[in-house]
């Protein structure tokens, strides 16, 4: 009988997935899977769970797990995120009620709510007894309030924000209660076995990791493979943000041994954001550090693998760093949380700067920690070099890390470095950080003039990107709440980033900040926890005077330096819960991470990051399929995304025997560029903003000199 139920559940799951796979409803207009497919996958998974736990001691647990799986997947369907640039928001009535699919999704959330309410009713006596214990009700209310503040991103419409925040907090509460009942439903006779297994995997609370071990190496390999797979399959090894195009261009000409490029023959035809065009040179205006690192990948033809490899390396550094500060168990839990973090994985799949910034920050902090422990001048020198390197990637982040490292070096939270160590730290910072001076001079003619600031001042006006408050701040981006920058807008930016953090840090239906909130009100904070909280506070305060919030690209990316403190504090929150609830707490967090990998990661991949911002590598495929060869390709559409997606495939030598992609901006530009390349056949390609899909050849090849 049991085997029959299992076979039936497997058959039903296969049928659901196959039906969804073949249904146009679960695909977009181009035939790619959309985010709705995740709900079908969750329903199939729930059926398998119910079938395989039926008539076993785990049946009650299986029902709660199936409910959590479907409930989270259904709630994700109610979120409007998508490929366009905007902060995600829940869809609320009447929009939900007008859409048949969303009505089914809200019905599933409603059924989950009813099941949770039934569970509360069944356990009312126990819950009431627990709530009557001193401090429990107040602590629970505080955790709920703190988590709820970041449940949804603030909106201009205050009424909508109030409704959305209420609904989002309610969904978090239902999911948290679902996970709580799931943990309670673990069979009593299985707890000892579970405890022994978790203890063998996670290690002791009393010892510290001496060195890298198989656990850390396997975790690093997992992260590298996961982010590389996302980069290949979701991101398609192609830049999707304007910054990424500039980074790749920069890395390509660095790999060719150039500091700048010769100017293009017609600026209007080769106009790409963050590229500075001067009479005698053409260069990327972004800071030096990340393109210099990315150069290795560009030279090998695998720039898309650089960040995944660095992300895996970062896992090893986190393991070593937290092993210096916390126990082996906390280090391992933190690493596992990092392995399951969508924020970490999605930034690692991209071409953005934040992963390498984290690498240098971790090297700096590990270096100064080791130098404090053993008095090593070499470790102090490495720490300084890493601080300097970080300043070459993201100057403000480099300054933040410098402040934190400097504070640790002079004895805050531990032993002060010896004088030789302090000198080595300062020397390493200055020697590496000073590399920016000759680079600035080569690009701007002034060692202290940043190419990026010069570019932004020309494009958006003086002081537009300056640090601090003032009416001139800002570039008119849609993610900027108001013109200028004020302390009030700093609070808005913080709330937007907090909401992104609560969503993307772990992708938990109960909210990603719940363990940190539990720790904060536990009364169990220790000195290392205060160090982590201080690091978070420094990052948040440092970014408050900056006008931008980073937008919705890859979560709260401007706050990315707080990733490690967040996973460490979450691990400590779990450790405290283990003292209260035993192995049930560990199992609950493991389930949350599993649900995020099963539900949240594929949903975010399909719903947002595939063809994000309409950036796509189709021109690369078209060039091969149509054999563009030595031709002139006129790309019609907007500068971003249409031309930006094509421009990155231009040869560095615009006279080489390869296709040259130009922006067909207007008739004047077209006439001039045709006169510059009179001997090349011409193709006309329409971009995504025109086709509302992929690139499309509108005409070609047209013989040289043909009228257009």
Say if residues 560 and 354 touch (Cβ distance below 8 Å): yes
Asked if the structure places residue 379 within a domain, the reply is: no
Q: What is the pLDDT of residues 139-170, one digit of tens each?
A: 778 888 888 889 899 998 899 999 999 999 99
Say if residues 556 and 497 touch (Cβ distance below 8 Å): yes
- Could you tell me how far CA 218 lies from the centroid of its own chain? 22
Same domain, 99 and 57: yes
Stated as kind and residue range, the H or E segment containing 451 is helix 451-460
Q: What is the pLDDT of residues 569-588, one digit of tens each?
A: 999 999 999 998 899 999 99
Give the other-Cβ count within 10 Å of 188's Cβ: 7
Q: What is the pLDDT of residues 530-565, one digit of tens each?
A: 999 999 999 999 999 999 888 888 989 999 999 999
C-alpha angle 672/673/677, rounded to 5°?
120
Stated as kind and residue range, the H or E segment containing 587 is helix 583-595
Q: What is the pLDDT of residues 423-447, one digit of tens each?
A: 999 999 999 999 999 999 999 999 9
Secondary structure of 193-239 in the HEC alphabet?
HHHHHHHHHHCCCCCCCCCCCHHHHHHHHHHHHHHHHHHHHCCCCCC
Give the other-Cβ count within 10 Å of 144's Cβ: 17
Give the other-Cβ count within 10 Å of 487's Cβ: 9
Please, what is the average pLDDT of the chain? 92
Domain that holds residue 251: 207-352
Asked if the structure places residue 547 within a domain, the reply is: no
Asked if the structure places residue 24 within a domain, the reply is: yes
User: How many domains would you assign to the chain?
Assistant: 3
Give me the residues paired with residue 646 across strands.
none
Same domain, 179 and 277: no
In this predicted structure, the answer to whether residue 707 has a pLDDT above a threshold of 70 is no
pLDDT at 576: 94
Give the other-Cβ count within 10 Å of 699's Cβ: 13
User: Measured over all CA atoms, what is the biggest interatomic distance in the chain, rounded to whole angstroms?
Assistant: 87
Question: Which two three-digit tokens encode residue 690?
Answer: 């025109």
Give me the residues paired with residue 485 across strands.
470
Same domain, 50 and 128: yes
- Strand 660-663 relative to strand 281-284: parallel, antiparallel, unpaired? unpaired
Stated as kind and residue range, the H or E segment containing 287 is none
Asked if the structure places residue 47 within a domain, the reply is: yes
- Could you tell me how far CA 372 lies from the centroid of its own chain? 32
pLDDT at 126: 76
Query: Environment class of residue 572 by beta-carbon count within 10 Å: exposed (0-12), middle (13-18) or buried (19+)?
Result: buried
Asked if the structure places residue 281 within a domain, the reply is: yes
Same domain, 80 and 59: yes
Same domain, 184 and 227: no
Asked if the structure places residue 481 within a domain, the reply is: no
* Contacting residues for 675 by C-beta, under 8 A, at least 6 apart: none
In this predicted structure, the answer to whether residue 413 has a pLDDT above a threshold of 90 is no
In this predicted structure, the answer to whether residue 708 has a pLDDT above a threshold of 70 is no
In this predicted structure, the answer to whether residue 487 has a pLDDT above a threshold of 90 is yes
pLDDT at 529: 95
Report cis status (omega within 30 of 0) of the bond before 129.
Answer: no
- Strand 79-80 relative to strand 89-90: parallel, antiparallel, unpaired? antiparallel
Asked if the structure places residue 472 within a domain, the reply is: no
Residue range 403-414: mean pLDDT, rounded: 88
* Contacting residues for 360 by C-beta, under 8 A, at least 6 apart: 386, 387, 389, 390, 393, 398, 401
Residue range 614-640: mean pLDDT, rounded: 93
Same domain, 215 and 348: yes
Same domain, 212 and 155: no
Question: Which two three-digit tokens encode residue 261?
Answer: 């490029």
Same domain, 52 and 193: yes
pLDDT at 479: 82
Taking the C-alpha atoms of residue 595 and residue 66, their distance in angstroms, rounded to an integer, is 10
Same domain, 18 and 61: yes
Report cis status (omega within 30 of 0) of the bond before 94.
Answer: yes
Same domain, 135 and 280: no
Asked if the structure places residue 310 within a domain, the reply is: yes
Same domain, 161 and 23: yes
Same domain, 56 and 167: yes
484: DSSP letter? S
Q: What is the pLDDT of residues 653-687, one digit of tens each?
A: 999 999 999 999 899 999 999 999 999 999 999 99
Taking the C-alpha atoms of residue 577 and residue 581, their distance in angstroms, rounded to an integer, is 6
Residue that terminates a domain, selected from 315, 330, 352: 352
In this predicted structure, the answer to whether residue 362 has a pLDDT above a threshold of 80 is yes
In this structure, the dihedral spanned by the alpha carbons of residues 470, 474, 476 and 481, taken in order and rounded to 10 degrees, is -70
pLDDT at 177: 94
Residue that terminates a domain, selected from 321, 352, 383: 352
pLDDT at 127: 76
Residue that terminates a domain, selected from 352, 370, 394: 352
């Amino acid at each position: 009988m049991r085997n029959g139920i299992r076979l039936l559940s497997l058959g039903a799951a296969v049928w659901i997935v196959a039906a969804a796979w073949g249904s146009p409803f679960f695909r977009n207009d181009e035939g790619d899977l959309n985010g709705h497919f995740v709900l079908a996958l969750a329903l199939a998974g729930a059926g398998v769970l119910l079938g395989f736990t039926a008539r076993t001691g785990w049946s009650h647990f299986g029902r709660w797990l199936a409910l959590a799986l479907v409930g989270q997947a259904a709630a994700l369907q109610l979120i409007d995120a998508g490929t366009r640039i905007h902060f995600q928001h829940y869809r609320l009535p009447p929009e939900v009620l007008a859409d048949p699919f969303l009505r089914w999704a809200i019905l599933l959330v409603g059924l989950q709510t009813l099941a949770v309410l039934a569970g509360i009713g069944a356990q009312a006596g126990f819950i009431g007894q627990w709530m009557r214990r001193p401090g429990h009700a107040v602590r629970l209310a505080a955790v709920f309030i703190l988590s709820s503040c970041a449940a949804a991103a603030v909106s201009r419409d205050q009424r909508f924000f109030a409704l959305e925040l209420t609904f989002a907090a309610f969904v978090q509460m239902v999911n948290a209660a679902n996970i709580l009942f799931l943990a309670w439903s673990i069979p009593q006779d299985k707890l000892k076995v579970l405890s022994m297994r978790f203890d063998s995997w996670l290690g002791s609370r009393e010892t510290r990791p001496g060195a890298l071990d198989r656990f850390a190496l396997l975790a690093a390999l997992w992260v590298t493979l996961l982010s590389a797979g996302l980069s290949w399959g979701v991101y398609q090894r192609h830049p999707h943000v304007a910054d990424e195009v500039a980074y790749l261009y920069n890395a390509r000409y660095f790999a060719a041994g150039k500091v700048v490029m010769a100017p293009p023959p017609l600026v209007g035809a080769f106009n790409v954001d963050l590229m500075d065009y001067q009479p005698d040179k053409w260069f990327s205006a972004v800071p030096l550090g990340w393109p210099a690192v990315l150069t290795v990948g560009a030279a090998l033809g695998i720039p898309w693998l650089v960040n995944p490899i660095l992300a895996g390396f970062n896992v090893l550094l986190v393991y070593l760093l937290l092993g210096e500060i916390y126990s082996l168990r906390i280090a391992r839990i933190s690493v596992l949380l990092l392995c399951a973090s969508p924020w970490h994985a999605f930034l690692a799949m991209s071409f953005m700067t934040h992963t390498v910034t984290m690498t240098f920050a971790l090297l700096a902090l590990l270096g100064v920690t080791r130098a404090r422990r053993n008095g090593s001048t070499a470790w102090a020198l490495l720490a300084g070099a890493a601080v300097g390197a970080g300043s070459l990637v993201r100057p403000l982040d480099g300054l933040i890390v410098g402040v934190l490292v400097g504070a640790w070096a002079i004895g805050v939270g531990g032993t002060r470095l010896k004088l030789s160590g302090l000198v080595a730290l300062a020397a390493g910072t200055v020697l590496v950080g000073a590399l920016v001076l000759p680079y600035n001079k080569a690009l701007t003619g002034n060692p202290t003039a940043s190419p990026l600031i010069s570019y932004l001042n020309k494009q958006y006006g003086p002081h537009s990107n300056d640090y601090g408050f003032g009416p001139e701040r800002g570039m008119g981006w849609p993610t900027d709440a108001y013109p200028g920058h004020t302390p009030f807008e700093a609070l808005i930016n913080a709330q937007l980033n907090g909401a992104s953090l609560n969503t993307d840090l772990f992708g938990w239906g109960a909210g990603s900040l719940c363990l940190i909130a539990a720790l904060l009100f536990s009364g169990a904070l220790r000195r290392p926890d205060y160090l982590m909280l201080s690091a978070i506070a420094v990052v948040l305060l440092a970014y408050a005077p900056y006008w931008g919030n980073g937008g919705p690209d890859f979560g709260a990316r401007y706050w990315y330096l707080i990733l490690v403190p967040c996973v460490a504090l979450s691990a400590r929150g779990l450790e405290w819960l283990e003292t209260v609830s035993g192995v049930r707490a560990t199992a609950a967090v493991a389930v949350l991470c599993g649900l995020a990998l099963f539900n949240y990661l594929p949903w975010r991949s399909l719903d947002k990051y595939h063809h994000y911002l309409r950036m796509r590598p189709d021109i690369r495929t078209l060039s091969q399929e149509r054999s563009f060869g030595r031709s002139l390709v006129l790309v019609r559409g907007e500068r971003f995304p249409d031309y930006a997606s094509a421009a990155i495939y231009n040869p560095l030598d615009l006279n080489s025997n390869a296709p040259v992609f130009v922006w067909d901006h207007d008739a004047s530009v077209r006439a001039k560029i045709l006169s510059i390349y009179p001997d090349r056949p011409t193709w006309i390609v329409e971009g995504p903003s025109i086709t509302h899909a992929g690139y499309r050849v509108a005409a070609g090849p047209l013989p040289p000199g043909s009228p257009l």
